[in-house]
Amino acid sequence: MKSKSSGGGLVYSTESGRMCPVCRQPVAACVCGQARPVVAGDGIVRVSRETKGRGGKAVTLVKGLALDASALVALAKQLKAACGSGGTVKDGVIEVQGDHCDKLVLALQAKGFAVKRAGG
């Protein structure tokens, strides 16, 4: 029998998704705040388009946002609605389905972020 303090334990639950390794709560309801550290950057948000590993489908990536997990998810929802497409947040990066670089740059600049277009 494993104790709670050993390194193992529940990592993912179909009921609530990813679990925080420290407080053992769902990441969305994490009480310790260590599940998703805020990404430190240079203060510039970078918007790029990527197709690698996606069967040729384009995805627009938004990197460099120094926001906590809940604020990042809320911003992603607004950006997806502005583009009229789906997407997700993975590892502090917002992914929006499709090539929407120009729309996202304008939307982020309107919200007061310093934005650069990255990539080709």
**What integer pLDDT is reported at residue 106 of this predicted model?**
92
3-state secondary structure of 96: strand
pTM (predicted TM-score): 0.65
Give the residue among 85, 119, 86, 82 at the shortest CA–CA distance from 104. 82
Phi, psi of 115 (to 5 degrees): -120, 140
User: What's the CATH number for 44-117?
Assistant: 3.30.780.10
For residue 44, name the pLDDT band (cuts at 50, 70, 90): confident
What digits encode the pLDDT tens for the residues 85-119?
999 998 888 999 999 999 999 998 998 888 889 88
CATH code 3.30.780.10 region(s) in the chain? 44-117
47 near 60, Cβ under 8 Å?
Answer: yes
Given a cut of 60, is residue 6 above it in pLDDT?
Answer: no
